Amino acid sequence: EEKLPDVLTVSERVSVLSDIFATSVAGLSPIDRYLHSLENFAKDQDPYVLGLTISQISELEQLLEPSSKSGYQGFVVKCLKPQLERLGYTRKATDDDLTAELRARLIKTLGTIGNDKQVIAFCREKFEAYLADDKTLDGDLLSPIVQVMAYNGDSDEFVRIEEAWRNSTTPEARNRNLFALAAFRDKECVEKALNLCFNKEVKAQDVPHLLARLIGSSDSQAAAFKFLGDHWQEIYDKVGE
């Protein structure tokens, strides 16, 4: 497995990693074999292989028992932190769009499910500039900065991001801030995010996306499903089929 990147093409490496993940999730092969393979594939510098690695690391986290998540954080950092250090935290003149996107995904993943203190500190340092004038920052980093701050935030950050959402002057900023409100793990913040579904400022077409993010997170999933069941008719009336 450690030699696979040397003997397989990019498409073959993507296919092999996808197959190992699928068989492990299906219970057809041991999860420790998959984790060993993932750790090896995480060294791959090809953007498509690395992108798939990041996606699988995020998807696997949603399947873990809560007791396993703290141990998983170290695994995530071990796999992805060297890649971020290789790319650096800021965009270079030689970076193409795919590289810039990978940097953003690495920062988001390490700052959330990886619980990497250095990445979280980087996002916290940029947060004031983000709120004051996000045009002063690298556009690729806006989403990871606000997502990491929300994921690690409490009611204070919720209020500030909610205000940024209301004051957004572009559709991109408005959606970015609105959907970041679904990244909070604090129970009170999760309830506030759910109740935004009935806020007149939230467009009907955005409600399913907001709910999908809340249901898609293991930290807010139970509350979101209950909310959906309790308010099904009201939500249906707002968003339609």
Tokens of 16: 């092999």
Q: How far apart are CA 48 and CA 102, in angstroms?
A: 9
8 Å CB contact between 110 and 89: no
94: helix, strand or coil: coil
pLDDT tens digit at each of 241 positions of the chain: 555 556 889 999 999 999 999 999 999 999 899 999 999 999 999 999 999 999 999 999 988 888 899 999 999 999 999 999 999 999 998 999 999 999 999 999 999 999 999 999 999 999 999 999 989 999 999 999 999 999 999 999 999 999 999 999 999 999 999 999 999 999 999 999 999 999 999 999 999 999 999 999 989 999 999 999 999 999 999 999 8
> Is residue 1 helix, strand or coil?
coil
Other beta carbons less than 10 A from residue 94's beta carbon: 6
| CA 199 to each of CA 206, 223, 224, 235: distance values in angstroms, whole numbers, following the listed order | 11, 18, 16, 11
Output the CA torsion sign for 24, 27, 29, 35. positive
Which pair of tokens denotes residue 142? Answer: 């806006």
Q: Model-level pTM?
A: 0.93
Instruction: Answer whether 224's CB lies under 8 Å from 208's CB.
Output: no
Q: How many residues does the chain have?
A: 241
Query: What single string gives the DSSP state of each residue in 160-182?
Result: HHHHHHHT--SHHHHHHHHHHTT
- Measured between alpha carbons, how far is 52 from 49 in angstroms, rounded to an integer? 5
Structure token digits, residue 48: 């498509």
Burial 161-192 (b: 16+ CB within 10 A, else e): bbebbeebeeeebbbbbbbbbbbbbbeebbeb
Alpha helices (runs of H) in 89-170, residue ranges in sequence order? 97-111, 117-132, 142-151, 155-166
Contacts of 219 (CB under 8 A, 6+ apart): 185, 190
